[in-house]
Amino acid sequence: MFEIGTALRDARVRRDISLQQAEDDTKIRVKYIQAMENEDFDILPAGTYVKGFLRTYAEYLDLEAQLLIDEYNERFGTGEHKEHIIQPTRSPKADAAPKSGRKHQTNYILVAILAVVIIAVLAYLGWGNASSEKPTLVATTETQTTPTATAPVEAPAPVDARTATTPTQTQAATLQSISMAATSADNWIEVHKGSADGDILWGGTLAAGESKTLEAKDLEGQTKLWLLVGSSDGLAVSVNGLPQKLTGNVGEIYLITASGMTAQA
């Protein structure tokens, strides 16, 4: 076991790098650099940021980033720091979520009950109107019978039409492609589904000059994904063929949809 903060601080001092210079070079704020060197990880944002900060800062100081990350997981992966644990890359089809399944099952039951109630109300109104019109049909002439008889039949039609078209009107567009290219520097990247801390769809480090494209078959019909990058320097990203704008922040998280990419401050 070794001290993460001491290793980072000693490496910076040996290279005669000031805190301000480290911030200018890495784009990591001084307060976050000091937090890592003091092992004050509660000051840092969510665990996904801890991963980016530790990796970027360690590589900047020519340290073995994975050793520091493994030590962090070993020492701070329980208790109040459990949510910050940095998990290794895992298969997108990993652990099932039974609680979520039960919640969805409950929602389906409620929707089914509500649908039955609505159908019963509509049927009652339709049958009530039809039965109440029958005495008037006997008393009226033949010319008056035609409009009276057709009115109750046509009335429910608009309700059925609106109900049938509602799902297609609210359906979100699926992602077709995400292209990432490291134009001038190595860059660590991860693409998550479900949330910024969800299953990793793809992850790795692109060396300078390398690129990676996730096509529709790789994106599994997702309507939104989360992109985590170590640094935006020398990185180009396109969504559905359209170039996207990246911030200069280290460890930034972006929400990707069919309409584009936005930073999650």
Tell me the pLDDT band of 160, cut-offs 50, 70 and 90: low
The answer as to whether 90 is a domain residue is no
| pLDDT value, residue 230 | 80
What residue has token string 């985590």?
A: 228
Helix residue ranges per DSSP H, the chain: 4-14, 19-26, 30-37, 47-60, 65-76, 98-139, 142-154, 157-170, 216-219
Helices and strands per DSSP (H, E), number in the chain: 9, 9
* pTM score, whole prediction: 0.46
Are 77 and 120 contained in the same domain? no
Among the three residues 106, 136, 170, which one is the final residue of a domain in this structure?
170
Q: What percent of the chain has pLDDT over 70?
A: 70
Residues 186 and 201 occupy one common structural domain: yes
Distance CA 5, CA 9 (A): 6
Highest mean pLDDT among 11-15, 48-52, 117-121, 134-138: 11-15
Q: What is the mean pLDDT of the chain?
A: 76
Residue 62 sits in which domain range? 4-84
Average pLDDT, integer, range 202-216: 88
Same domain, 43 and 118: no
